[in-house]
Homo-oligomer: A and B are copies of this chain.
Amino acid sequence: MSDLLERLRGRGWRLTSQRRVVAEVLDGDHVHLTADEVHARAVARLPEISRATVYNTLGEMVSLGEVMEVATDGRAKRYDPNARHAHQHLICSGCGSIRDVHPQGDLIAALPAGERFGFVISGAEVTYRGLCPDCS
């Protein structure tokens, strides 16, 4: 994830302590925090960081393609630092925990031409649902 900060600097970002903290909080595999969770963890390291800055920083990281936004349930969006490797999500219907998964096959090819309504398809996302070992 220190790579992330370097990449952002290469794109002309000013490297502030707030942005560093947000990037650190987001680091890891299977990390899917909401903006408020990111804010809570960031405050633990940098007490004066504001909610607006967390939202701004997350939004900028998404625009740059460094972080992926995951809208799973119509509630708070989650932020996934693993945006550079294509993957899908598996969500526990019991506790809400999320894992990154890699299904086989070509999702886009699975949509017949007659089902495309003239759209130019650019991507597809899958959300698998089930019960995790703890909840089942």
Contacts and interface: CB of A to CB of B under 8 A. Distances in A.
Contact of A111 (B103, B120, B124): B103
B115 A133 contact: no
Contact of A128 (B92, B121, B129): B121
Protomer copies: 2
A124 B128 contact: yes
Give the interface size class of chain A: 35 or more
A23 to B, nearest CB: 21
Interface in A77-120: 77, 90, 92-93, 99, 101-105, 107-108, 110-112, 115-120
Interface stretch (A9-17, A39-47, A48-56, A65-73): A65-73
A128 B111 contact: yes
A61 interface: no
Given A71-B74, A77-B74, A132 B104 contact: no
Contacts of A6: none
Given A105-B110, A119-B136, A122-B130, 10 more contacts: A90-B117, A103-B112, A105-B105, A117-B133, A120-B130, A120-B131, A121-B128, A121-B129, A124-B128, A125-B126
